[in-house]
Amino acid sequence: MKKSTLIKVATQSILKNKMRTFLTMLGIVIGVAAVIVMVAVGYGAQSNIEKQIGSLGTNMIMVMPGASALGGVNQGANTFNRLTPEDYEKLQRESLLVSAFSPVVFTNAQAISAQGNWRTRIQGVSTDYQTIRDWPMEIGTFFTEADLRGIRKVAVLGSTVAQALFADVDPVGQQVQIRDVPFTVLGVLKTKGQNAGGMDADDIIIVPYTTAQSRLNGRQRVNQIIASTSSPQDVPAAQEEIRSILRESHRLADGDDDDFTIRNQDEIAAAASSTTKVMTLLLAAIASISLLVGGIGIMNIMLVSVTERTREIGIRMAIGARGSDVLTQFLVESVAISMLGGLIGVAIGFAGAAIVAHFTGWSTATPPQAVFLAVGFSAAVGVFFGFYPARQAASLNPIQALRYE
């Protein structure tokens, strides 16, 4: 039997029972659509995390306090802080691979202006902070080395804080009071949005770290030292260089553990996105169950179709059709139903992802390979679950099939 005839006969059989065909492919439609939506949500979340990690800065390296132990019980990371401004200065002097360094001093405080007040994060940093974080100004200027050396009371605002404290006023040149200390606003940073931790990156006030230490928290330790390299390729070597300089600064012997932790953007991104990847695979696997259910539905309907068309199969065999022709005919019907269901499911999946993004505000992204995989899997379901009914049809005895009532 010619291929064109096989396709024609299969198409006629499918169109003859439109409602049954639709109900048969419904499981495939739902399965493929569910897979597309789940993968779109998962990949969207992963892309969003990568974007947020990228917003941290350019080739950024973070040096954080190490772990401490109390009574044999490890207290975890960031519990033993030996980082000082002297460490930062030594790194600046001796590092050859790092292009910029900045200490970071954290604190939280109520900021008060003539127009309002706002509780926010205060970060004391150096002038290199803006370069490391790749964070340009919206208006005004960043503070200078002279401001650092002079321990001047100047501040740069994130856009969220600027809006909260100076909604209808140009902030530049205005006064902000932080813990009874008046600061002069030099400028406002461009909006960055949400950071990798889910916090508003723009809810921040940046001041010289010397001023933060002497005027705001009174501590000589720094909470963090951040750095950046000229190119991503330099990051691993720069990390080792920083580690060597800090071990020397802290006078650690060869057998001593580091009393600090060094991380880079890739490590942060891998940690942040690993959970999202697992959840995406889990959701896609759950959605794939619908495809299996749809495949079982196809097999049931095709078995019913073989029973209903037994006399037709007998007539075809009596006039010369081979078993392979009958097998191919039923396989073509099965694959056509599952493929059509897959294509409809893809269209519904894209629409569903757009609806989810619209009503939830989540980012969605559907990789092309997910579409090809879903459609290919639906075709494979058609072959797998359609083979047994097709084999049953092909193995019928022509004489018994002709006698079938």
Is the pLDDT assigned to residue 150 strictly greater than 80?
yes
pLDDT, residue 68, reads 52
Beta bridge partners of 105: 124
| Average of per-residue pLDDT values in the chain | 80
Q: Where are the domains of the chain?
A: 3-51+271-403, 81-258
* Tokens coding 279: 């959840």
Per-residue pLDDT band for 18 (boundaries 50, 70, 90) equals: confident
Backbone φ and ψ of 74, nearest 5°: -70, 125
**Cβ(115)–Cβ(165) under 8 Å?**
yes
Q: Give Cβ neighbours of residue 261 (< 8 Å, ≥ 6 apart).
A: 63, 64, 65, 66, 67, 77, 78
Q: Per residue in 239-255, pLDDT tens?
A: 999 999 999 999 888 88
- Rounded mean pLDDT of 302-325? 71
* Tokens coding 386: 């359609």
**Cβ(366)–Cβ(353) under 8 Å?**
yes
Instruction: Annotate 7-68 with DSSP letters as a single string.
Output: HHHHHHHHHHTHHHHHHHHHHHHHHHHHHHHHHHHHHHHHHHHHHHHHTT-SSEEEEEEB--
- Rounded mean pLDDT of 349-370? 80
pLDDT, residue 140, reads 95
**Cβ(187)–Cβ(142) under 8 Å?**
yes
Is the pLDDT assigned to residue 399 strictly greater than 70?
no
Q: Is the pTM of this model over 0.75?
A: no
**Residue of higher predicted confidence among 81 and 161:** 161
pLDDT, residue 334, reads 78
pLDDT, residue 212, reads 93
% of the chain beyond a pLDDT of 70: 78
Q: Per residue in 59-90, pLDDT tens?
A: 888 898 876 544 444 445 555 678 999 999 99
- Rounded mean pLDDT of 95-123? 93
Say how far apart CA 13 and CA 8 lie, in whole Å.
9
% of the chain beyond a pLDDT of 90: 31
**Residue of higher predicted confidence among 276 and 235:** 235
